[in-house]
Amino acid sequence: MVPGSLFKKSEFLNKPIAVRHIAPALLSRPGPTPVAALFFQAFEALMTQKKKFVFTDRLIKQLPSHDPSSASKSAEYSDATVIGLRAVVGVNGNKSFSFRYQLVGGRKRCARIGTFPAISVSEARKIALEMRAVVDRGGDPQERVDRMKAMPTFAQFWDDEYAPYAIQAKKSFRNDESKVRIHLKPRFGPLRLCDIGVRDIQLHHAAMRASHTAATANRHLALLSAIFRKAVEWGRIDKNPAAGIKPFREVNQHQRFLTSDEIARIFQAMEGEANKTAVAALKLLLLTGTRREEALQARWEHVDLDAGQWWLPVTKAGRGRYVALSGGANDLLASLPSRGKSPWVFPGRDGDKPLNNPRKAFGRILESAGVEHLRIHDLRHSFASLAVNAGATLYQVQGLLGHSSAQMTQRYAHLADNGLRDASQAVANVVMDAVKRSVIRDGDSPAQSA
């Protein structure tokens, strides 16, 4: 017979291949049938009954639904062209592609590619070959998928990973924890790390600037950047969304310094404050210019009253330093009841931990003294201003405050106006004396010539 010619059904049905594969199709069609079409149908029938064959869109489409009475949930067919490419057929007839592979360590895995016909055979092959290339290079095609499935929310990452690290590594952890609890968790807590973008960070940064100050907003930006930087370092995300966001310009035009009258009123109000430990800590802050946490974390083992020195093992600058104790500071420390009883200079209620924060006691003292708009950190600024007004140079103030650079001490330069004014006046006197001498010489010249 010639392909494409017509024949009678009775002439062909006795052939074995016809009986097995073509007869059902032939009997279902009335009249004569092209021979080429029958042979093509026979080929398709043979292919779809095999578990491995060369995939085509037409053959995949003709795959039968999986037998619901089977112990397995789906039937799987292998592509003879791309090793590992599979076609999966469910009991409802839905078809999809997957890629089976084995990692270097021997672990076998299966990656889902997509559903048919949304993804064609050619597309499935292309994706499977890309996955095969990753495996051949020693990687895992599902590494990113696995990471996305295990991606923690912002709250989970803070609680389970970042906070345990930061509590040991960061001196500012208590401040960071407060920012996260009050502001960052309510805004970012339920979001996955990978779902927080640059826009989200910028909106929060702007919102904090509107409700607080530029400095506060910038501290939030710095904290977020530190959190996401660790997330990148630990392989949780690929990019830090806070990186590259410009901080707001901070304008510190006004600095609060205590006057002599305010100091007197504050010390008088301290006499009526019940929390004597907090009172002593606040006094030491003003007498030494140290930072709040430096004073609250003070231990007796670091205080040498005979030498008049106090060692700070941990400072904001990242290195330890000695604090020179004045007579008043030395007497204050010598009078504390914790001496010889607690390792902490300013112990908390249970004695095993240091005083947490004298903020409430400080507020009561200010209210009693009638002093407004003063922060605990302003005691440090006041110490610096008193030192400058007493004749200390900016270089000396830098040493007293433990500043790592002279630039940080320049904020107190305007307090030395009297010394600068005297120096300026001395220059002016020299200039004026030179002018007077010149005038006198010019005045004498005519007389001499006469």
The amino acid sitting at 233 is: E
pLDDT at site 420? 55
Q: Evaluate whether 411 touches 380 at the Cβ level (below 8 Å).
A: no
CA pair distance 96, 355, nearest whole angstrom: 64
Contacts of 20 (CB under 8 A, 6+ apart): none
pLDDT at site 16? 46
Structure tokens, 48: 């779809």
Q: Evaluate whether 158 touches 185 at the Cβ level (below 8 Å).
A: yes
| HEC assignment per residue over the chain | CCCCCCCCHHHCCCCHHHHHHHHHHHHCCCCCCCHHHHHHHHHHHHHHHCCEECCCHHHHHHCCCCCCCCCCCEEEEEECCCCCEEEEEECCCCEEEEEEEECCCCCEEEEEEEEECCCCHHHHHHHHHHHHHHHHCCCCCCHHHHHHHCCCEHHHHHHHHHHHHHHHHCCCHHHHHHHHHHHHHHHHCCCEHHHCCHHHHHHHHHHHHHHCCHHHHHHHHHHHHHHHHHHHHCCCCCCCCCCCCCCCCCCCCCCCCCCHHHHHHHHHHHCCCCCHHHHHHHHHHHHHCCCHHHHHCCEHHHEECCCCEEEECCCCCCCCEEEECCHHHHHHHHCCCCCCCCCECCECCCCCCECCCCHHHHHHHHHHHCCCCCCCCHHHHHHHHHHHHCCCCHHHHHHHHCCCCHHHHHHHHHHHHHHHHHHHHHHHHHHHHHHHHHHHHHHHHHHHHC
Q: Evaluate whether 170 touches 176 at the Cβ level (below 8 Å).
A: yes
Rounded to two decimals, what is the model's pTM?
Answer: 0.53
Parallel, antiparallel or unpaired: strands 321-324 and 95-102: unpaired
What does the buried/exposed string (b/e) look like for 2-30 if buried means 16 or more CB atoms within 10 Å of the residue's CB? eeeeeeeeeebeeeeebeebbbebbeeee
pLDDT at site 433? 78
Nearest to 289 by CA among 369, 385, 356: 385
Peptide bond into 313 cis (omega under 30): no
The amino acid sitting at 63 is: L
Q: Considering only the C-alpha atoms of the chain, give the largest distance between any 2 of them, rounded to a whole number of Å.
A: 156
Parallel, antiparallel or unpaired: strands 74-79 and 52-53: parallel
Residue 44: alpha-carbon gap to chain centroid? 58
The amino acid sitting at 61 is: K
The vertex-34 CA angle with 28 and 40, nearest 5°, equals 80
CA distances from 397 to 310, 339, 408, 430 (A): 17, 29, 10, 30
CA pair distance 184, 25, nearest whole angstrom: 68
From the first residue on, what is the mean pLDDT of each consecutive set of 10 residues in the chain (450 residues)? Answer: 42 46 52 53 54 92 90 92 94 93 89 93 94 91 80 94 92 89 95 94 96 93 96 93 93 75 94 95 91 92 93 80 89 93 92 89 95 90 82 76 66 58 68 73 52
CA pair distance 433, 283, nearest whole angstrom: 49
pLDDT at site 104? 85
pLDDT at site 407? 61
